[in-house]
């Protein structure tokens, strides 16, 4: 689904190139593997960082997603579907970690600040997101931070689009309430 | 002082649905009209908008790209090599174990077979030259030859 958008010019070349890389990967070509990693790692690490709010954990998840993607590359029916497939693996791995993290947070309830421009804002957002159930959190992040469409969120999370709508509605409302409590608006 | 009016629930439903679909003209007009008179809905919408804006601003984007672990790619390739070696070992190990068991079975069979002549002496074909341990060859005595003559 992620690659079915209308491509033009350079994007078409990129798609064709990616198909070649995937085909070469199937034959065990390491140069093609490196090229695919270089192309997709930024997006995967960024998404994982947004979902997990931890840079190092995000890199681990991205690596795990690449390993799983390459291991199962033979199962792909369409070479052009690789990027979406990889993205789905990454999001699902993040959700698995969030599910485990939720239990940890109830015990320790600690949030580490990150480096970056708007540190205070990020720390507050991180604390607020940590209070949401992982399905709501992932849905909200994928829609608002990753700017995915409803269809894309539904596909990545493997749920019907109606569920995405209702989760987003609940997530926005709960996030608003948490935000008001935090900032005292 | 906040004022809550009739139609607030419809306003909330539509203000949520505007993210999912394009609202009709009548629905947009209703939202605008209700917003102008209902302070509670106005405040709620403003809070929601602020919260979501802060959420979007907290997103990590391009800054992530500049600070990768230097061995990111190398680590993946190394793990893939280890993984493929493990898989091939896992694939071939039953064959190796089977071959080893078969080899051991052959060796054991060879050791257990008694080491004796394959055929009894009575069964040997006539004229076959053989030599057994301790059997002496006939010797030629010259004195006996003279006597014969």
- pLDDT score recorded for residue A107: 44
- Could you report the predicted ipTM of this complex, rounded to two decimals? 0.76
The yes-or-no verdict on residue A55 having pLDDT over 90 is no
Do B17 and B52 sit in the same domain of this protein? yes
Name the pLDDT band for A110 (thresholds 50, 70, 90).
very low
pLDDT above 70 coverage of chain A, percent: 82
Distance from CA of A9 to the nearest CA of B (A): 23
User: Is B143 within 8 Å of chain A by CB?
Assistant: no
- pLDDT score recorded for residue A15: 80
The count of other CB atoms within 10 Å of the CB of residue A44 is 28
Do B71 and B49 sit in the same domain of this protein? no
Closest B-chain CA to A123: B58
What CA–CA distance (Å, rounded) separates A66 from A54?
18
The yes-or-no verdict on residue A29 having pLDDT over 80 is yes
Pairwise CB contact (< 8 Å): A145 & B65: no
Do B71 and B48 sit in the same domain of this protein? no
User: Is B55 within 8 Å of chain A by CB?
Assistant: yes
User: How would you class B8 by CB atoms within 10 Å of its CB: exposed for 0-12, middle for 13-18, buried for 19 or more?
Assistant: middle
Q: Does residue B143 lie within any of the structural domains?
A: no
Q: Tens of pLDDT along A71-85?
A: 888 877 776 688 888
Q: Which residue numbers in chain B have pLDDT < 70?
A: 1-5, 62-70, 115-137, 145, 147-149
What CA–CA distance (Å, rounded) separates A86 from A104?
27
Q: What's the residue count for chain A?
A: 185
What CA–CA distance (Å, rounded) separates A116 from A123?
11
Residue A20 phi/psi, 5-degree rounding, is -65, -45
User: Can you give the residue range of the structural domain that contains B71?
Assistant: 66-106
Q: Does residue B2 lie within any of the structural domains?
A: no
Pairwise CB contact (< 8 Å): B72 & A37: yes
Name the pLDDT band for A4 (thresholds 50, 70, 90).
very low
Neighboring chain B residues of A116 at a CB cutoff of 8 Å: 60, 63
Q: C-alpha dihedral over A57, A61, A62, A65, to 10 degrees? A: 180
- pLDDT score recorded for residue A90: 94
- pLDDT score recorded for residue A47: 92
Q: How many domains does chain B have?
A: 2
What CA–CA distance (Å, rounded) separates A15 from A9?
10
- pLDDT score recorded for residue A153: 92
Q: Please name the residue ranges forming H helices in A53-160.
A: 55-71, 82-108, 119-130, 134-140, 150-157
Q: How far is CA B60 from the centre of its chain?
A: 32
Domains, chain A:
1-98 (1.10.1740.10), 111-185 (1.10.10.10)
Q: Does residue B53 lie within any of the structural domains?
A: yes
- pLDDT score recorded for residue B117: 56
Residue A8 CB-half CA count within 13 A: 1
Q: Does residue B27 lie within any of the structural domains?
A: yes
**Tokens (6 digits) for A49:** 């960082």
Pairwise CB contact (< 8 Å): A145 & B54: no
Name the pLDDT band for A109 (thresholds 50, 70, 90).
very low
Do B35 and B71 sit in the same domain of this protein? no
- pLDDT score recorded for residue A53: 86
Q: Tens of pLDDT along A136-161?
A: 999 999 999 998 988 999 999 999 99
Tell me which residue of B67, B75, B73 sits closest to A40, measured CA to CA. B73
Do B74 and B51 sit in the same domain of this protein? no
- pLDDT score recorded for residue A25: 84
Do B52 and B76 sit in the same domain of this protein? no
């Amino acid at each position: 689904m992620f690659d079915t958008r209308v491509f033009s010019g350079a994007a078409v070349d990129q798609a064709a190139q990616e198909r070649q890389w995937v085909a070469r990967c199937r034959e065990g070509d390491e140069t093609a593997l490196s090229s695919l990693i270089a192309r997709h790692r930024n997006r995967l690490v960024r998404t994982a960082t947004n979902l997990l709010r931890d840079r190092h954990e995000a890199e681990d998840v991205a690596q795990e997603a690449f390993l799983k993607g390459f291991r199962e590359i033979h199962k792909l029916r369409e070479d052009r579907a690789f990027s979406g497939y990889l993205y789905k693996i990454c999001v699902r791995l993040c959700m698995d970690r969030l599910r485990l993290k939720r239990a940890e947070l109830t015990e320790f309830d600690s949030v580490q600040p990150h480096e970056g421009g708007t540190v205070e804002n990020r720390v507050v957002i991180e604390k607020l997101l940590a209070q949401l159930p992982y399905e709501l959190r992932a849905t909200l992040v994928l829609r608002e931070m990753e700017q995915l469409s409803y269809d894309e969120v539904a596909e990545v999370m493997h749920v019907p689009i109606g569920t995405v709508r209702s989760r987003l509605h609940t997530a926005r409302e709960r996030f608003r309430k948490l935000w008001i409590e935090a900032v005292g608006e | 002082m906040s004022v809550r009016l009739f139609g607030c629930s419809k306003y909330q439903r539509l203000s949520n649905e505007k993210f999912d679909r394009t609202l009709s003209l009548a629905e947009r007009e209703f939202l605008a009209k209700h917003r102008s008179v209902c302070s509670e809905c106005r405040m709620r919408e403003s809070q929601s908008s602020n919260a979501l804006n802060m959420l979007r601003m907290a997103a990590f984007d391009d800054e992530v790209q500049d600070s990768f672990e230097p061995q990111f790619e190398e680590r993946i390739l190394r793990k893939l090599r280890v993984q493929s070696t493990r898989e091939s070992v896992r694939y071939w190990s039953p064959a190796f174990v089977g071959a080893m068991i078969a080899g051991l079975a052959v060796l054991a069979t060879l050791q257990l077979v008694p080491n004796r002549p394959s055929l009894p002496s009575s069964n040997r074909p006539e004229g076959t030259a053989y030599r057994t341990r301790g059997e002496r060859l006939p010797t030629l005595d010259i004195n006996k030859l003279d006597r014969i003559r």
